[in-house]
Chain A
Amino acid sequence: MAAVRPVAFVQGLLALLAMGLLIAVFMRSDMSVLLVAQNSHSDKPLLYKFAGAWGNHEGSMLLWVTILGLAGAAVAMLEHNLPKPTLIATLGAQAAIALGFYAFLLFSSNPFARLDPVPADGAGLNPLLQDPGLAFHPPTLYIGYVGISVAFSFAVGALVTRDVGPAFARAMRPWALGAWIFLTLGITAGSYWAYYELGWGGWWFWDPVENASLMPWLAATALLHSVSVLATRDGLRAWTVMLAVVAFSMSMVGTFLVRSGILTSVHAFAVDPKRGSFILALLAIYIGGALVLFALRIGTVRQGRTFDLVSREGALVANNLLLSVILGIVLIGTLYPIVAASFGVQLSVGPPFFNKAAGPVALALVAIMGAGPLLRWRRDDGNELVERMMLPIAAAALAGAGVFIATGGIAILPFLGIALAAGLAAASVAPLWKRNLRRTPLFTWGMVIAHLGIAVSLAGMASESAFTKETLVAARVGEPHRVGPYIVRLDGISPVIGANWSALQARLSVRRGEDGDWFVLRPQSRFFASPPTVTSESAIATVLDGQLYTVLGAPDEQGRWQLRLWWKPFVTFIWLGGALIALGGALSLIGRVRRERKASYREAYV
């Protein structure tokens, strides 16, 4: 058993070597490799040759196992607090997951398959993927997915050795936190990418591929909160293990949805039923195996400590239940059409379903979120809680009244969103009230900032949906048009040549109000030669209170050009909030790791 650590370590290094080699053949445009010929082109910019290594099915699966291998190596190197049998069982579970994916690569997705005769040049990368955001987006999400697999392996390890308790929770927490941070960043970046690159002005589509990353995030968020209860209060033992299994299942379901070719989308590269069944088999083995282990062992997990319903634990249980409800709704909405299709029924579930079903639950969750940090552990007094909630409730009421007076009434969901966002913001910073800020632990700051981030995001979403102004015109050169507070004038259209594209570019002169300063925006319509594609490049002006978003459309016979203009007040708050949430997670992680280290030194020297 002494070899377990080095083996895990070497495995990680070898996977990294394979990924490095794949990147090298992409950088050199080695067209004798089938994958390069299919997905790359020698005149592609260097960044996209590099990122093109994972901009396809095989390469992205290799990246997946590389991160998985490196995560296993990191557990082997860094984890010294767990009892040895638990650590070995954990690494074993991790290796079992990796084994399945190595088999998947070898038998159905070989990234290094050769091509003979060697073609003169490659087919090129989908121009939509030729964007810096896309170069970093998949690795970010994969680190998140794989981090969850490590949390799952810890849960399996703890079940195998019947060692479910605070020590296991403390070992698992940084991995769950790390995974969650990367998922948050990945989802935020993906949303912003869709918003500016696709030119449709929307930031969330409820696309199954988006849902595939949202579902593990929801489960990881629940896990993060329940693992805290287990680590600090020794409660929710069985529930935490169950959540780890669920979170990993969701990241596998996500991989299955995106990688099996069951969906058609820019993300779904493969349309090969063999691959789909392979991943489905892996999914069944891992989730089924984990559930069987859970069922066999959960009886031996002893009851943790108890708590009153009105308490921090109680609020966290409510948080977990509501997150699970949202997860259930998203899962049903995402899988229902696929299940129906297998019975020959064609149907599609769209944004109206998700908004209607998940929206109200999400708002209830926000209300619980405001109360949770203001509650004491173990037991609290309901009346005192109401007193502590007075300020946030006042903030929500004030914001609601303000919006009502300023606008004369808006739709109910955005209205509640703005009011709750104000209340949540006040409730989030309330735990800092009357505290010595310099001695406040880093993880408390993390919680405050992450919750504040949710409030900021929510405010952005509500503002975007309630106050967006839109103008659609067939513009003549020189004519001014209004959108929100802005005046936009088309100055002219000119051709532009890029690295591997050419474009028609509009020059728009823009100013805010009649006496604002003029500035210029340049939206484009871009043509790519290989593969032949047209994309719209929006031009966006970001100011303190929102964004002006411009898209160039088609010309008509009278020399007019279609222009689509949006004024989106505070839309940037959506992604700013996402960044704050991730920052809060990072602060928590640093704070926790520091404290654990101190604690383990203390134990070592008593």
Chain B
Amino acid sequence: MKAKHQRLTLALLAVAAVIGAGLLALSALKDQAAFFYAPGDVAKAGPPVGRAVRLGGMVENGSIRRQPDGVSIAFVVTDGVATVPVRFRGVTPDLFREGSGVVAEGQFNADRSFIATNLLAKHDERYMPPQAAKTAQGDMHETKTLEP
């Protein structure tokens, strides 16, 4: 192969790879970009059933019910616009409490209830996505990660 041709082939390959990456990323983004929901969004557009998403808002006062099995809880997440009932099985984050900001990761059921597999709480030294900080008013602290 001549030098010029080789350069051209490599350049074409690189362009193809970049376009491929872009398409791959876009198609995945189309599915996943709307990853974060506030209860208001769910009320407006309906729940994205059966897909892994994050739900963010405040834990409604008086809504936490501990279940008899000792490891499950039910509570309600609100953003002042609408509410979503959430069920969660696991160790709650250290500063998960009523009136506090929370991000739940999990899936919506068809009946607009949410099954959380992970909880991220406010004032907890865990990661808090910025969206949650905006959704839940007040001084949301910087936090880190996913404790189920």
Residues of A within 8 A of B (CB): 126-128, 194, 198-202, 205, 207, 239, 263-266, 268, 303, 306-309, 317, 321-322, 324-326, 328-329, 332-333, 336, 341, 346-353, 356-357, 361, 472-474, 525, 533-536, 551, 553-554, 556, 558, 560, 562, 564
Residues of B within 8 A of A (CB): 1-3, 6-7, 9-10, 13-14, 17-18, 20-22, 24-25, 28-29, 31-36, 52, 54, 66, 69-71, 89-92, 94-95, 105, 118, 124-131, 133-134, 140, 142-148
Task: Please measure, in the bound complex, the distance between the C-alpha atom of A239 and the C-alpha atom of B6, giving whole angstroms.
Answer: 13
Known pairs A341-B130, A349-B32. 17 more at Cβ < 8 A?
Answer: A194-B144, A194-B145, A200-B145, A207-B127, A264-B128, A264-B129, A265-B127, A306-B3, A307-B6, A321-B14, A321-B17, A329-B25, A333-B25, A348-B54, A353-B32, A357-B28, A525-B94
Task: Please measure, in the bound complex, the distance between the C-alpha atom of A240 and the C-alpha atom of B17, giving whole angstroms.
Answer: 17
Determine how close the nearest CB of chain B comes to the CB of A53; give it in whole angstroms.
20
Task: Please measure, in the bound complex, the distance between the C-alpha atom of A134 and the C-alpha atom of B115, giving whole angstroms.
Answer: 34
Partner of B3, one of A266, A303, A533, A551: A303
Partner of A329, one of B21, B94, B124, B125: B21
Partner of B144, one of A128, A361, A525: A128
- A564 with B22, Cβ < 8 A, contacts A349-B29, A357-B28, A536-B147 known: no
- The list of the 8 closest CB pairs from A to B, nearest first, reads A474-B70, A553-B91, A534-B94, A325-B21, A353-B32, A348-B36, A357-B28, A328-B21
Determine how close the nearest CB of chain B comes to the CB of A35; give it in whole angstroms.
18
- A356 with B95, Cβ < 8 A, contacts A198-B126, A341-B130 known: no
Chain A residue nearest in CB terms to B28: A357
A205 close to B127 (CB less than 8 A): yes
Task: Please measure, in the bound complex, the distance between the C-alpha atom of A126 and the C-alpha atom of B143, giving whole angstroms.
Answer: 11
Partner of A332, one of B25, B131, B134: B25
Task: Please measure, in the bound complex, the distance between the C-alpha atom of A556 and the C-alpha atom of B73, giving whole angstroms.
Answer: 12
A562 close to B25 (CB less than 8 A): no
Chain A residue nearest in CB terms to B91: A553
**Selected A-B contacts with CB under 8 Å, 30 pairs:** A126-B125, A127-B125, A194-B144, A198-B126, A198-B145, A200-B118, A205-B127, A205-B145, A207-B145, A264-B128, A265-B127, A268-B142, A325-B20, A326-B21, A328-B18, A329-B24, A333-B29, A336-B33, A346-B36, A346-B134, A347-B131, A350-B54, A353-B29, A353-B31, A356-B28, A356-B31, A473-B71, A533-B125, A554-B92, A562-B91
Task: Please measure, in the bound complex, the distance between the C-alpha atom of A350 and the C-alpha atom of B125, giving whole angstroms.
Answer: 20
Task: Please measure, in the bound complex, the distance between the C-alpha atom of A200 and the C-alpha atom of B145, giving whole angstroms.
Answer: 8
Interface SS of chain A? mixed
Chain B residue nearest in CB terms to A554: B92
B36 close to A324 (CB less than 8 A): no
Which of B2, B25, B131, B133 gathers the greatest number of chain A CB atoms within 10 Å?
B25
Task: Please measure, in the bound complex, the distance between the C-alpha atom of A59 and the C-alpha atom of B91, giving whole angstroms.
Answer: 35
Determine how close the nearest CB of chain A comes to the CB of B31; give it in whole angstroms.
7
Partner of A535, one of B17, B29, B70, B125: B125
Residues in chain B near residue A199, CB distance under 8 A: 147
Determine how close the nearest CB of chain B comes to the CB of A361; give it in whole angstroms.
7
Residues in chain B near residue A347, CB distance under 8 A: 33-36, 131
Residues in chain B near residue A348, CB distance under 8 A: 35-36, 54, 129, 131
B35 close to A472 (CB less than 8 A): no
Task: Please measure, in the bound complex, the distance between the C-alpha atom of A265 and the C-alpha atom of B142, giving whole angstroms.
Answer: 5
- A350 with B1, Cβ < 8 A, contacts A198-B147, A341-B130 known: no
Determine how close the nearest CB of chain B comes to the CB of A474; give it in whole angstroms.
2
A128 close to B125 (CB less than 8 A): yes
Chain B residue nearest in CB terms to A329: B25
Residues in chain B near residue A558, CB distance under 8 A: 70
Partner of A472, one of B3, B71, B142, B144: B71
B35 close to A349 (CB less than 8 A): yes
Residues in chain A near residue B128, CB distance under 8 A: 264
A322 close to B94 (CB less than 8 A): no
Determine how close the nearest CB of chain A comes to the CB of B117; give it in whole angstroms.
11
Chain B residue nearest in CB terms to A470: B148
Chain B residue nearest in CB terms to A360: B24
Residues in chain A near residue B71, CB distance under 8 A: 472-474, 562
A306 close to B1 (CB less than 8 A): yes
- A266 with B144, Cβ < 8 A, contacts A317-B10, A348-B129, A564-B91 known: yes
Task: Please measure, in the bound complex, the distance between the C-alpha atom of A324 and the C-alpha atom of B128, giving whole angstroms.
Answer: 29
Task: Please measure, in the bound complex, the distance between the C-alpha atom of A93 and the C-alpha atom of B146, giving whole angstroms.
Answer: 42
Which of B10, B66, B125, B134 gathers the greatest number of chain A CB atoms within 10 Å?
B125
B70 close to A198 (CB less than 8 A): no
B142 close to A352 (CB less than 8 A): no
Residues in chain A near residue B2, CB distance under 8 A: 306
B33 close to A308 (CB less than 8 A): no
Residues in chain A near residue B144, CB distance under 8 A: 128, 194, 198, 207, 265-266
Determine how close the nearest CB of chain B comes to the CB of A244; give it in whole angstroms.
16
- A205 with B91, Cβ < 8 A, contacts A321-B17, A556-B66 known: no
Determine how close the nearest CB of chain B comes to the CB of A483; give it in whole angstroms.
14
Task: Please measure, in the bound complex, the distance between the C-alpha atom of A328 and the C-alpha atom of B32, giving whole angstroms.
Answer: 17
B35 close to A324 (CB less than 8 A): no
Residues in chain A near residue B126, CB distance under 8 A: 198
A361 close to B24 (CB less than 8 A): yes
Residues in chain A near residue B148, CB distance under 8 A: 200-201, 564
Task: Please measure, in the bound complex, the distance between the C-alpha atom of A321 and the C-alpha atom of B14, giving whole angstroms.
Answer: 6
Determine how close the nearest CB of chain B comes to the CB of A261; give it in whole angstroms.
10
Partner of A324, one of B17, B91, B134, B146: B17
Task: Please measure, in the bound complex, the distance between the C-alpha atom of A119 and the C-alpha atom of B110, giving whole angstroms.
Answer: 56
Task: Please measure, in the bound complex, the distance between the C-alpha atom of A525 and the C-alpha atom of B36, giving whole angstroms.
Answer: 30
B25 close to A264 (CB less than 8 A): no
B70 close to A352 (CB less than 8 A): no
Residues in chain B near residue A556, CB distance under 8 A: 66, 70
Determine how close the nearest CB of chain A comes to the CB of B39; give it in whole angstroms.
14
- A350 with B35, Cβ < 8 A, contacts A198-B126, A321-B13, A357-B25 known: yes
Task: Please measure, in the bound complex, the distance between the C-alpha atom of A599 and the C-alpha atom of B14, giving whole angstroms.
Answer: 35
Determine how close the nearest CB of chain A comes to the CB of B15; give it in whole angstroms.
10
Task: Please measure, in the bound complex, the distance between the C-alpha atom of A351 and the C-alpha atom of B105, giving whole angstroms.
Answer: 11
Residues in chain B near residue A198, CB distance under 8 A: 126, 144-147
